[in-house]
C-alpha cells in the first residue's frame, strides 16, 4: 500500500514509524523540514517538505497513487481541507484528525464522505473512553470490550496474594478455567504465552473472559479487597478531561482541579452539576488532601506534562489511592511509568495509531488496539465463509509464533477458545499478537 501521512507531529511520526516497519510505501509530509530530517535518515520512508493543502505538493507526493491519505496536523480545518483535496486528486481513502465531537455524529459523517473525507478520528475522545473503562474497576490496569461486552479483555498486575502464581498455564487449563491468558508483560519483555509458561509475581497479565466470570478473576488475582470506584479526582482541565467527565457513569462523583482560573470558569459551563471544579495547583499535595484525596478511589492526571502526571500519580499512590491513571504522551516515558507502578497509562498517539492501522487491513476487522504497556496488539476479525481460519480446529491452524486466539463471539455470546475449538463463518474472533504481526495473521481471515 502507498500511504501518505500529512503532519510530522506526535501522531504522524509514530504512525509513520509503525507502518514503515511493515514495508509499506510511506510518504510523510510536513512544512517543517527539521521534523522530517530525523525521520528521513532513521526510517524506510520518503519525506516531502510541503503544505498538505498545496495541490502541487500533493501531486509531488504521488497522491494519485495513494491507497490511504492520513491528515493528522494539529489544525482540524487543515486536515479536512487536505483530505478533500487528496480525494479529488485520486487518493482511494482519506482520514482526518479532528477536535470537534459534532463531526462524528452519523448524519454529519455521511456529509463529510460526500466531500471526500472517508473517516474521522478524534484522539481525545478515544483516550477519554479508555480512561473511563480503566477506572470503572480499581483493580485492573486495562479494560477492553468486544461486541458490546460479550467478551472482555482485562489487564491485571500480579501481587503476592494471587493464587495462580508459578503454575504453568497447561496446569491451570486442566481445571477447565473460564478465561484465557493472552499476553504477559514481564519487565521489558512481552510474552504471548504457551502451555509451559507460568505467571510470575509483578507480571501484568492480560485475560480474556466473559462478564459472568469477572468476579472469579478478581478472586484468583487477589484483588477482592480493592474498593469499588465511587469518587474520582481529575488533575487538569484539558479536552480529554472534559470528555472523560462526560463519559463517567452517573454513580461516580468527580472533582476537577485546574490551575487556570479562566479555564475553571469554562469548565463550570461545560460540565454538569455532578462535577465540582476547583481552582488550584494539582501538584500541591496539601490542597489534594484538603479536597479529599484520601477518600478518593481513583486519581486521574491529565495535565499537558507527562512528568507532572507521573509524579502526581506517585504522590496519590503514597496517599493510599489504589487506582491512578496518567496521560503520558512521551512514549519514551511509558516504560518508566510502568516500572514506577503508577497504574494505567494513556497515550493518545498509540490509541490513534491503533484506530488508523485498522483501516489498512484487508480482512473484516472491527477493532484494533495497542496494549499500552505490552508490545502487543489485539484485533477483532469477522470470519467470512471459506477462509482458512474455518478449515481446521484451532490447534491445527498453524498460527505463527507470537500469536494466539483469545476468544470469539458467536451469535452474541462470548466464548473462550481452546485447541479443540472449530471457528465458524460469522464468528467474531479476537486475536492477540506481538507488534507488527497482525499482517501475518490477517491471511487466515482473507
Percent composition of the chain: helix, strand, coil (DSSP 3-state, to 5): 35, 25, 35
Let me know: does 311 contact 281? Beta carbons within 8 Å: no
Q: Tell whether the model's pLDDT for residue 370 goes beyond 80.
A: no
Q: Which residues pair with 367 in a beta bridge?
A: 380
pLDDT, tens digit, 9 for 90 and up, residues 109-141: 889 999 999 999 999 999 999 999 899 888 998
Q: Tell whether the model's pLDDT for residue 213 goes beyond 70.
A: yes
Tell me the Cα Rg of the chain.
22
Let me know: does 231 contact 295? Beta carbons within 8 Å: yes
Mean pLDDT over residues 329-339, rounded? 84
Q: Tell whether the model's pLDDT for residue 77 goes beyond 60.
A: yes
Nearest CA among 49, 90, 95 for reference residue 66: 90
Q: Which residues contact 14 (CB under 8 A, 6 or more apart)?
A: 331, 349, 350, 353
How many Å apart are CA 446 and CA 444, to the nearest integer?
A: 6
Nearest CA among 314, 322, 350 for reference residue 334: 350
How many Å apart are CA 286 and CA 307, to the nearest integer?
A: 20
Q: How confident is the model at residue 203 (pLDDT cuts 50, 70, 90)?
A: very high
Percent of the chain with pLDDT over 90: 61
How many Å apart are CA 182 and CA 378, to the nearest integer?
A: 10
Residues found in the chain: 446
Question: How much is the pLDDT for 358?
Answer: 67
Q: How confident is the model at residue 150 (pLDDT cuts 50, 70, 90)?
A: very high
Pull the grid cell for residue 139: 483493580
Nearest CA among 416, 421, 415 for reference residue 395: 421
Domain residue spans of the chain: 2-121, 351-445
Q: How confident is the model at residue 247 (pLDDT cuts 50, 70, 90)?
A: very high
Question: How much is the pLDDT for 374?
Answer: 62
Mean pLDDT over residues 417-425, rounded? 92
Nearest CA among 287, 261, 240, 5 for reference residue 125: 240
Superfamily of domain covering 2-121: NAD(P)-binding Rossmann-like Domain (3.40.50.720)
Question: How much is the pLDDT for 23?
Answer: 73
Question: How much is the pLDDT for 440?
Answer: 80
Please name the CATH architecture into which domain 351-445 falls: 2-Layer Sandwich (3.30)
Let me know: does 198 contact 168? Beta carbons within 8 Å: yes
Does the reported pTM lie above 0.95? no
Summary mean pLDDT of the chain: 90
Lowest mean pLDDT among 8-22, 89-103, 273-287, 416-430: 8-22
Q: Tell whether the model's pLDDT for residue 253 goes beyond 80.
A: yes
Q: Report residue 50: phi and psi, to 5°.
A: -160, 165
pLDDT, tens digit, 9 for 90 and up, residues 343-367: 899 998 888 877 787 666 655 566 6
How many Å apart are CA 254 and CA 241, to the nearest integer?
A: 11
Q: Report residue 154: phi and psi, to 5°.
A: -130, 140
pLDDT, tens digit, 9 for 90 and up, residues 270-314: 998 889 999 999 889 899 999 999 999 999 999 999 999 999 999
Amino acid at each position: 500500500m502507498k500511504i501518505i501521512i500529512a503532519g510530522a507531529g506526535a501522531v504522524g511520526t509514530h504512525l509513520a514509524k509503525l507502518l514503515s516497519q511493515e514495508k509499506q510505501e510511506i510518504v510523510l509530509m510536513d512544512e517543517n523540514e527539521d521534523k522530517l530530517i530525523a525521520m528521513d535518515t532513521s526510517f524506510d520512508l520518503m519525506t516531502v517538505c510541503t503544505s498538505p493543502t498545496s495541490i502541487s505538493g500533493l501531486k509531488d507526493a504521488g497522491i494519485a497513487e495513494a491507497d490511504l491519505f492520513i491528515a493528522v496536523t494539529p489544525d482540524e480545518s487543515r486536515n479536512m481541507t487536505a483530505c478533500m483535496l487528496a480525494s479529488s486528486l485520486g487518493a482511494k481513502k482519506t482520514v482526518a484528525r479532528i477536535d470537534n465531537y459534532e463531526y462524528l455524529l452519523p448524519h454529519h459523517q455521511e456529509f463529510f464522505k460526500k466531500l471526500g473525507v472517508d473517516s474521522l478520528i478524534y484522539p481525545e475522545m478515544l483516550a477519554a473512553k479508555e480512561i473511563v473503562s480503566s477506572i470503572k474497576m480499581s483493580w485492573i490496569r486495562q479494560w477492553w470490550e468486544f461486541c458490546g461486552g460479550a467478551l472482555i479483555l482485562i489487564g491485571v498486575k500480579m501481587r503476592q496474594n494471587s493464587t495462580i502464581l508459578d503454575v504453568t498455564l497447561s496446569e491451570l487449563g486442566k481445571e477447565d478455567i473460564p478465561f484465557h491468558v493472552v499476553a504477559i508483560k514481564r519487565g521489558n519483555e512481552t510474552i504471548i504465552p504457551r502451555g509451559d509458561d507460568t505467571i510470575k509475581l509483578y507480571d501484568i497479565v492480560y485475560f480474556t473472559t466473559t462478564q459472568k466470570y469477572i468476579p472469579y478473576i478478581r478472586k484468583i488475582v487477589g484483588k477482592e479487597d480493592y474498593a469499588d470506584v465511587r469518587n474520582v479526582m481529575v488533575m487538569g482541565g484539558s479536552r480529554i478531561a472534559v470528555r472523560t467527565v462526560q463519559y463517567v457513569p452517573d454513580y461516580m462523583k468527580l472533582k476537577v482541579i485546574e490551575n487556570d482560573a479562566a479555564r475553571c470558569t469554562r469548565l463550570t459551563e461545560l460540565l454538569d452539576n455532578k462535577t465540582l471544579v476547583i481552582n488550584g495547583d494539582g501538584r500541591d499535595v496539601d490542597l489534594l488532601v484538603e479536597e479529599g484525596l484520601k477518600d478518593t478511589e481513583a486519581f486521574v492526571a491529565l495535565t499537558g506534562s507527562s512528568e507532572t502526571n507521573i509524579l502526581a500519580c506517585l504522590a496519590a499512590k503514597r496517599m493510599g489511592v489504589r487506582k491512578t491513571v496518567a496521560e503520558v504522551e512521551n512514549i519514551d516515558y511509558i516504560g518508566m511509568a510502568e516500572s514506577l507502578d503508577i497504574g494505567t497509562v494513556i497515550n493518545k498517539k498509540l490509541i490513534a495509531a491503533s484506530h488508523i492501522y485498522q483501516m489498512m487491513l484487508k480482512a473484516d476487522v472491527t477493532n484494533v488496539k495497542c496494549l499500552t504497556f505490552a508490545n502487543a496488539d489485539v484485533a477483532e476479525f469477522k470470519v467470512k465463509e471459506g477462509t482458512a481460519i474455518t478449515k481446521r480446529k484451532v490447534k491445527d491452524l498453524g498460527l505463527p509464533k507470537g500469536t494466539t486466539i483469545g476468544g470469539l463471539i458467536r451469535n452474541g455470546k462470548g466464548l473462550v477458545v481452546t485447541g479443540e475449538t472449530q471457528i465458524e463463518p460469522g464468528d467474531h474472533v479476537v486475536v492477540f499478537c506481538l507488534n507488527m504481526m497482525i499482517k501475518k495473521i490477517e491471511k487466515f481471515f482473507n
